[in-house]
Structure 1
Amino acid sequence: MKICHILKNNLFMISYIWRFSKSYIFLSILSSIDFTINPVIDILLMKVVVDSIAEGKPLINIMVFLVAVAGVNLFSAANDAYFNNRYYPKKDEEFSRKMQLMLLDKRRVCEVSCYENPEFYDSYMKAANEAQGRPLWVWGTVLGFLRNLFAIGAIGTIVIIIDPFIILFSLAGVLAGLFFSTKMGKVKFNFDMAKQPLERKKSYVNRIFYLPQYIKEVKLSSISNLLREMFVTSSKELVDVVHKWGGRVAWMDFAQTITSSTITVGAMGYLAYRIVSGNMSIGSFAAMLAATNQLRGYLQGLLQIVPDFYKHSLFIDNYRQFLEYVPLIDETKEGKEIDSMSSGIELKNVNFTYPNSDEQTLKNVSLSIKKGEKIAIVGHNGAGKTTLIKLLLRLYDPTNGEILLDNEVYKNFNVPKLRSKFSVVFQDYQCYAFTVAENVLMRKCETEEDELLVVESLKKSGLYDKISSLPMGIHTAVTKEFNAKGTLFSGGELQKLAIARVFANNSEIVILDEPSSALDPISEHNMHENMLAAAKDKTVILISHRLSTTLSADKIYFFEKGEIIESGTHNELLQKKGKYAEMFEVQAKKYKYNG
C-alpha cells in the first residue's frame, strides 16, 4: 500500500472530526503539548537537583525549584483528569453517534439486493464496527505520534547538548524497529480479517439464544444441537486462526523487543563509558540516564504507532467502500413526481433473476392493473408472487422488460415518491419496540388527530378491543425489550397490528402479501370485509394462498414457476377447470370437512 494512499485514508477520517468539532482538534493538540513538557521537566529536575546538592547550593533554592515543578505537574494532572474523564468521553460518544448515523442513512438508500448478499453484510458490519471509534482512534494515533515526536525532539535536544553521539543508537533502533513494526501491522490486519467471520457466527448463535422469537423452537426442537455445533466449530476454527496468525505476531513482537533492547544496551554501555572516563557530571549522568530510558520509551511508542496508520488505512478502506457505494436504485436522484395515478400500472414482458443466481424467478410477465381495480396474485410457494411485489415497489428493477405507471417508465419517477403511493403489509411483516400507535403510524404519534387515526385503523383491523383493554391503550409499548410495562402480542395480533398500518396510510395502492396468514377464518373474513370497504376507491393487489379471499377480485392471476399460466375472474377460472380451479376445490373441501 502506497504511503500517499495511507495518508489520504487517515486524513479522510480526521476530516470528519474537523467537520464535527474544530475545538476538539485544537484542545487535544494543546493537551499534547502539555504532555510533552512533563518528561522534559523531569529530566531537567534530575540534573538541577543532583548538581545543586553536589555543588552545595542553598536548600531554599532547591525547594523553590521543586515547588515550581510540583505546580506544573499539578496543573498537568488536573488537565489530564478533566480531558480523559469528561471531555474526551463526551466527544467520543458524539462522534460515534454521528458516524453511525451516516452509516444508517447510507444503509437506508442501499437497494434490497445488498441485504441479501453476505459479502455486503460483512462489509456493512466491518464499516459499522469502524464507525464506533475509528475516527477517534485515527486522531488518537495522530496525537500519539505528535506527542512521541515532540517528546523525542525535546529530550533529543537535551541529549544532543550533553552528548550528541548517543543519538546514533536511537536512530539505528528506529530504522530496524520501523521495518518490523510495519510488517506487524499487515499481519495483525490479516489476523483480524480471519477472525471476523468466525466471531460473527458465534455472535449469531448467541443472538438466537437471546431473542424471544426463537426460544420456543429452540426448546422444542433439535435446532439447538445445530447451533451448538456451529458455535463449537467456529470456536475451534478461531483457535486455528490464532495458532496460524498469533505465532507470526509473536515473532514480529519479539523482533521489535530485540530492537528496543539493543537501543537500551547500547546507550547504557556508552553512558557507563563516559562516567568512567570522567567526562560527565553526576547530575548530567542522572539526567542522561533518565533521558535514555524515556527516549527509549518514546521511540518504542513511535515505532508502535507508525504501523497503526497502515492498519487504520486498511480498515478505512472498508468504511469508504461502503460509504462510496453507488446504489443501483438511487433513492436520492431527482425524478418525476406523481400527484395521483390516472390510469394504472402495466408490466410488459418482465423477466427477473436475483443477483448471483442463474434461475429466472419471473418469466415474460405481462399484466395490467387499472386504477381502482382489485386484483389477486395466487399460486404455490416459490411461484414468484412476492418477487412481483418487490418489482412493483421498485425494491428491484426487472432484468428485462419494463414497468409503466400511467404509461411512464418506472425508472423515470422519484423513488421515494413512487413508493409513497403504496401501502404494504408484507408476508414477513415486522413490529418494532415502540408504542402501538407508533407501530401503526410508523412515525411519532403527536396530535389528537393522529390518535383518532390510530384508533380507527385498529378498529378496522380488529385489534382495538385488545388495545383498549390495556392500561396505556394505544401508547402501550410493543414487547418488553425496553419497557417492563410493554405487552407481548400473539402472532395473529401482531398481524392485525401490521394490517392497521394500511388503514392509517392514505395511499392510492394497497398491497397485501398474505395479510391473513396468522388469522382465524372469522378474523380473516372481518378483516377482508373491512379492507375492501376502506379500499373502496383504491387499487388493491392481494397475494394469498387462501383462495376464499380472492372471490371478489376483479381479476386473478395464477402464477406457476414465475409465469402467469391463468388469468380471469373467479368464475371464469373455475369454468376453465385449470390449476386455479384445482386449488380452489382442494381448499373448499377442506373448509367443508372442517365445518
Structure 2
Amino acid sequence: MKVQRNQKILRILRQNLYQSLSLFQYSRRAVALVWDTSRNLTIILASLTLVAGLLPAASAYAGKLIIDGVVLATQSGMMSDLWRTLGYLGLEAIVVELLAISKQGLSVCQSLLRALLGQKVSVMILEKALSLELIQFEDSELYDKMSQARRGASTRPLSLVRRTFELIQDLLSLMTYSFLLLQFSLWTVVVLLVASIPAFVAETRFAGEAFRLFCWRTPESREQGYLESLIVRESSLKEVKLYQLGSLLLERHRSIFERIYHEDRNLTLSREFWSYLMDMLGSIAFYAIYVWIVVEAIAGRISLGDMTMYVMVFSRGKSTFSGFLSSIGDMYEDNLYLSNLYDFLEQNTATSSGQAVKGLIPGDGLRFESVWFTYPGTSQPALKNVSLHLKPGEKLAIVGENGSGKTTLINLLTRLYVPDKGRVLLDGLDLQEWDREILSQRIGVIFQNFVQYQFTVGENIGVGDANHLNDEPRWRKSAEKGMALSFIEKIPENFHAQLGRLFKRGRELSLGQWQKIALSRAFMRENADILVLDEPTASMDAEAEFHIFKHFHQVTENRMAILISHRFSTVRIANRIAVLEAGELVEQGTHTQLLEIGGRYARLFSLQAEGYN
C-alpha cells in the first residue's frame, strides 16, 4: 500500500513537472515571433543583454582595485600608486558609462519592439478571426478565448523574450559573481543560491493563481464591457435614459467589479505577505554572510578592497539570483498567457478548399437539396429537409414567422454556414467546391441587421464590392438602383459626406435612409446574378416598401433574387413564394396559387390583411 501511494505521488509530481515545463514551449515561439517582427532590433537587444550581463562584475572588481589602490597609495605615498589608482577609477567610470548606455539601449529596443510586436500580434488575431466560420462566432467559449488572447497578448511575447534575455544576462552576471565569491568561500555561493529559492516558489505559485483567476473571470469582464457599451453608445443610450436603466446597469457593473476586486485583493495580500516573508529570509542570510566577511576583514585575512568587493558582489548576486528566479516565474506566467494566444490562433478554420470558377450545369440556377441544419448547442434543427430550385431571372419570396429559418437559409446560400445534411448547389456544383472569392462576387446581399459604417456615404455603398470601394461612378449607379440617389444629392458633399457621430462633422441618417444605402450596397457587385434582400425595408412604411420592391423587380430583371419580408402585400410581386414553418418548407407557389390552397400562407395573409382594415 505504501509503495503504491509513493508511486502515485511520484506520478503526480512527474505530471505537474511535465505540465509546468511544457508551458515553456512558447518561449521558443515568442523568440521566433519577435525575430520575425524585427531581426535587427532582436540582434541589438541580444547583444546589449550580453554586455549588460558582464559589466556589473567588472564594475565591482574595479571598485575593489580602487579601494586597495587608495590604501596602498596612502601607505606608500608614491605617485605611481596614486596614478594607478586614478587609472582604476577611470576604468570604473568607463564601465559604469557603458553599463548605462547598454541599459538605455535596451530600453529603446524594447519600446520599439513593443510597438511593432503589438501591431503584429493584433493583426494575427484579426486575421485569425477573419478565417473562422460564422458558426464559430456563435459560440460564447470562442469569444472568451479571443478575449483572453487579446488581453495582454500584444505585450506578453516581448515580455517573454525580454525576460529570456534578462535570464541570460543574470546568468552571465551570476557566473562572474560566483567566480569572485569562490575566492572567498564556496559556502557564500551555496547560501546565495539557497536563500533565493523560497521567493521563487512563492512567486510561481501566485502567478499560476493569478492566471486561473484571469481565465475564470473572462465572461464577467466581457459582461462588464457590454454594460459599459450600453451606457456610452448612442444606439442604446436612448432606451437607457427613457427606461431609466442607468442605475440598474451601474449596479450590475459595480457588483461585477466588487466580486473581481475581492478576488484580486485576497490574491494581492497573500502574494505580498509571502513575498515579504521570503525576502526577509533572504535578508537574514545576506547579513549572516556580511558579518562573516567583516570578521574576516577585521582579522586581516582579506583586504579592505576585498571586503568591499565581496559585500557588493554578494549583495548584487543575491539581487541578481532573485531576479533570475523571478524571471523564471515571470516567464512561467507569460507562457500561461501566451498559451491563450496560441490556443486561439490554432482554432480550426474552414477546411473547404474549393477552387471552381464555374458550375457543371451553367444556367441551372440555385438549388437546395434536402438541406438540414442545426445550430451547435441546440437539439432542434433550424432547417429540416428543405428543397428549392431558383432558376435564372426568377424572383423567390420567403415568408414565415420569426424563427422559421428564413435567415438561416440565407446564411447557407451565402456559404456562411455549411449544411449538416444535403447540398446547396449553384449551376449544378456544391457551394463548398466553389472558389470563395468567385462565389462572393456572384452574390449581393443586404442583411436585416446591416452595418451602418462610420464611413463616407460613397464608402458605405462601396463596401458592397471591396474591389471597387472608391469607384465613384459605380457609387452613383448603385445608389440610383437602390433609390438612395435622390436624398444623397441633397446632402452637402454628397457621396463624400461623413456618416455617423463617431467622427468630426459626421451626420446621421434616418433608419429608412440607412436602409436605402444598404440596398444600394447590394448593387455594387455588377456581376452578381443572385441578389438577396433579408428584411431590407423593415423600417419603411408599406407604400415605400412596395415601391422599392417594384423597382427592385425591374432592376433585377435578368438576375435571381430572394426576398424576405413580413409584409405579404409586397412579396406577391415575386414569381414564387416559399413558406417556412419551424424550419420546414410547408408550401410554395405563386401568390394566387397559395391563396387557392387555403393553407398556412392564406391564413397569414388574411390575418395581416385584417390588420389594415
Tell me the TM-score normalized by structure 1. Answer: 0.92
Matches within 5 A, 1:386-397: 386-397=407-418
1:74 corresponds in structure 2 to 97
CA distance in 2, matches of 1:79, 1:314: 30
1:381 corresponds in structure 2 to 402
**Residue pair 2:67, 2:305 contacting (<8 A) in 1 also:** yes
1:165 corresponds in structure 2 to 187
1:413 corresponds in structure 2 to 434
CA distance in 2, matches of 1:197, 1:477: 35
1:499 aligns with 2:495: no
CA distance in 1, matches of 2:467, 2:432: 35
Residue deviations 1:26-59 (CA, integer Å, cap 9, x gap):
1001111232244224312321222122112644
Q: 1:234: Cα distance to partner?
A: 0.7
Corresponding residue SS for 2:187: helix
More displaced, 512-521 or 198-207?
Answer: 198-207
CA distance in 2, matches of 1:461, 1:422: 16
Matches within 5 A, 1:266-277: 266-277=288-299
**Residue pair 1:149, 1:302 contacting (<8 A) in 2 also:** yes
Give the RMSD, CA atoms, in angstroms. 2.5
1:31 aligns with 2:48: yes
**Residue pair 1:437, 1:454 contacting (<8 A) in 2 also:** yes
Cα gap change, 1:169/1:75 in structure 2, threshold over 3 Å: closer, same or farther?
A: closer
1:264 aligns with 2:286: yes
1:471 corresponds in structure 2 to 492
More displaced, 532-541 or 201-210?
Answer: 201-210
The letter for the 2-side match of 1:14 is V
Q: 1:251: Cα distance to partner?
A: 4.9
CA distance in 1, matches of 2:216, 2:467: 48
CA distance in 1, matches of 2:470, 2:343: 44
**Residue pair 1:503, 1:534 contacting (<8 A) in 2 also:** no
- 2:261 aligns with one of 239, 252, 259: 239
CA distance in 2, matches of 1:62, 1:206: 66
CA distance in 2, matches of 1:64, 1:451: 75
**Residue pair 1:113, 1:396 contacting (<8 A) in 2 also:** yes
Residue deviations 1:472-495 (CA, integer Å, cap 9, x gap):
3212222232x3022222222211
Matches within 5 A, 1:254-403: 254-327=276-349, 329-330=350-351, 333-338=353-358, 342-403=363-424
CA distance in 2, matches of 1:537, 1:303: 72
CA distance in 1, matches of 2:151, 2:65: 50
The letter for the 2-side match of 1:49 is I
1:84 corresponds in structure 2 to 107
Matches within 5 A, 1:566-585: 566-585=587-606
1:112 corresponds in structure 2 to 134
Q: 1:224: Cα distance to partner?
A: 2.9
Residue deviations 1:301-347 (CA, integer Å, cap 9, x gap):
112111222222222222222111112x335x243233795202222
Residue deviations 1:224-260 (CA, integer Å, cap 9, x gap):
3442232122122213322554454345424532443
Matches within 5 A, 1:584-595: 584-591=605-612, 593=613
1:561 aligns with 2:578: no
Structure 2 unaligned spans of 5+: 1-15
**Residue pair 2:147, 2:218 contacting (<8 A) in 1 also:** no
**Residue pair 1:187, 1:249 contacting (<8 A) in 2 also:** no
Corresponding residue SS for 2:382: strand
- 2:501 aligns with one of 480, 502, 511: 480
Cα gap change, 1:28/1:354 in structure 2, threshold over 3 Å: closer, same or farther?
A: same
Identity %: 25
The letter for the 2-side match of 1:159 is L
Q: 1:446: Cα distance to partner?
A: 9.4
2:456 corresponds in structure 1 to 435
More displaced, 492-501 or 70-79?
Answer: 70-79
Cα gap change, 1:246/1:359 in structure 2, threshold over 3 Å: closer, same or farther?
A: farther
Cα gap change, 1:74/1:243 in structure 2, threshold over 3 Å: closer, same or farther?
A: closer
Corresponding residue SS for 1:390: helix
Matches within 5 A, 1:6-155: 6-56=23-73, 58=79, 59-85=82-108, 87-155=109-177
CA distance in 1, matches of 2:603, 2:263: 57
Q: 1:82: Cα distance to partner?
A: 4.9
CA distance in 2, matches of 1:299, 1:449: 60
CA distance in 1, matches of 2:600, 2:236: 36
Corresponding residue SS for 1:56: helix
**Residue pair 1:130, 1:319 contacting (<8 A) in 2 also:** no
More displaced, 544-553 or 412-421?
Answer: 412-421
CA distance in 2, matches of 1:540, 1:564: 18
Residue deviations 1:121-150 (CA, integer Å, cap 9, x gap):
000111122431121111111122112112
Cα gap change, 1:354/1:187 in structure 2, threshold over 3 Å: closer, same or farther?
A: same
Q: 1:97: Cα distance to partner?
A: 1.2
Residue-pair matches, total: 588
Cα gap change, 1:326/1:544 in structure 2, threshold over 3 Å: closer, same or farther?
A: same
**Residue pair 1:138, 1:309 contacting (<8 A) in 2 also:** yes
Q: 1:417: Cα distance to partner?
A: 3.0
Corresponding residue SS for 2:351: coil
Cα gap change, 1:258/1:358 in structure 2, threshold over 3 Å: closer, same or farther?
A: farther
Residue deviations 1:400-434 (CA, integer Å, cap 9, x gap):
22222233333333334333321110011112222
Q: 1:517: Cα distance to partner?
A: 0.6
Structure 1 unaligned spans of 5+: none
CA distance in 1, matches of 2:593, 2:606: 14
1:513 aligns with 2:495: no
The letter for the 2-side match of 1:498 is A
- 1:525 aligns with one of 543, 546, 549: 546
Corresponding residue SS for 1:424: strand
